[in-house]
Amino acid sequence: MRVTTAFNRILALPGASVQSVAFTADGLVLGLRRRRRRRLQCPCGIRTWARYDTSRRRWRHLDFGACKVFVEAEVHRIDCRGCGRVRTEQVAWARPGARHTADFEDLAGWLAQRMDKTSVARLLRCSWEAVDHIVTRVVAAHIDESRLNNLYRIGVDEISYKRGHRYLTIVADHDTGHVVWVGKERTKASFEQFFDALGPTRTAAIEAISLDGSSIYLPVARDRIPQATICLDPFHLIGWTTAVVDSVYQAERPALQLDRHATLRQWRRTRYALRAGAEHLNDTHRAILNRLRRGRYRLWRAWELKEQLRELYRSVDPANARGYLKRWCTAALRSRIPAFKNLVQRVRKHFDAIIAAVQLGLSNSRLEGINAKIRLIQRRGYGHRNLDHLTASIYLCLGGITINPPTER
């Protein structure tokens, strides 16, 4: 068997065959020859016979053991009428604008889904910047264009990616758990771009959306998807209530410090008992709450109202949720705790969205899990200076992209 025949069977590159083999200082260089005359294809899709000029180029391929492998071939440039400029033709074994073969990039993308880019660059013996650009091209090639189809229950949330209040807008599908869209800002215009990408038909198919009740996303949702049911995230509602309990605790703390047996440990235990859920308390914490009920009734009442609101999502029948929440609002106002008066006004403002979240069982918990994974992506990359590369990494790891490495084909 000839050497070129052996390499042809090993590489199995589409549309080309190995013509020459050379060992150089850079590694193994394999010269390729086109198998048949054909029309030249521009990356935009237009085909033509006309050539602008010809040159010889090199692409990095998968290593053979400890030896780097490169493939070389003559490629043509064409004066594309569709693009309106001179562009390099598209070859079958590499993506447009790449200096690595598609097999090399798919392996790099598969590794980037599972490890940090520095380790990928060291393993594949390429630069960190090369891995960044490879991830962008792999996402563009593999991302499912139909990911925006059949959306009917979505969630939206923001995540900070840089100091100075720099945020991303994340939209996810509740049914698949995949990120379907990433906005580069936390603004109304950025969220509206998502609905512009959906189009009128797919926008009209959305039935429910979960959000945090911010003044950014809520007005846009009401305006662009009026037919959809808006659900307020339970986590944020309980967070508002916990903040009220904290404010009552801070107001009562000076008086509590006059107690005879107060210690720093007791203060920490008291604060934990007030903030934690009733199911997480032990006998010591329950004893603290009993003492507060006898001595600091207002503080104990604040904790009780918080737990009663938590029961809305835990044990209350969704059919009775509306009446239960109305009675809770009345009880909170009768407690004569000023902070709860403001909270009741906030609850009544989002009353229908709170009830919808209970009845449909929707929350932003899936979005919070996605945000935690985005934090991991940032830590693995030691930060991302380029926002486009961070967006590509999010789509690669959380967008439902499946990459089969060359060893599994």
Q: How confident is the model at residue 109 (pLDDT cuts 50, 70, 90)?
A: very high
Sign, CA dihedral 92-96-97-103, equals negative
Output the pTM of the full model. 0.85
- Specify the fold of 145-233+363-400: Nucleotidyltransferase; domain 5 (3.30.420)
- Give the residue-averaged pLDDT of 116-140: 91
- Give the residue-averaged pLDDT of 209-225: 92
Each domain of the chain, given as residue ranges in start order, spans 1-93, 94-142, 145-233+363-400, 234-360
Q: What are the DSSP E strand ranges found in 35-84?
A: 40-41, 47-48, 53-64, 67-80
Condensed to tens digits (0 to 9), the pLDDT of residues 25-67 reads 889 999 888 776 677 888 877 887 777 888 889 999 999 888 9
Residue 94: half-sphere exposure toward Cβ, Cα within 13 Å: 23
pLDDT confidence of residue 257: 54
pLDDT confidence of residue 358: 95
Whether 203 and 195 have beta carbons less than 8 Å apart is answered as: yes
Which residue type is seen at 54?
A: T
pLDDT confidence of residue 134: 94
pLDDT at 221 over 80: yes
Q: How confident is the model at residue 258 (pLDDT cuts 50, 70, 90)?
A: very low
With vertex at residue 26, the alpha carbon angle to CA 24 and CA 31, rounded to the nearest 5 degrees, is 60
Whether 340 and 244 have beta carbons less than 8 Å apart is answered as: yes
* Top-confidence residue, 87 or 385: 87
Sign, CA dihedral 60-84-145-392, equals positive
- Give the residue-averaged pLDDT of 167-182: 93
The least confident of 15-24, 169-178, 216-225, 238-247 is 15-24
Distance CA 21, CA 25 (A): 13
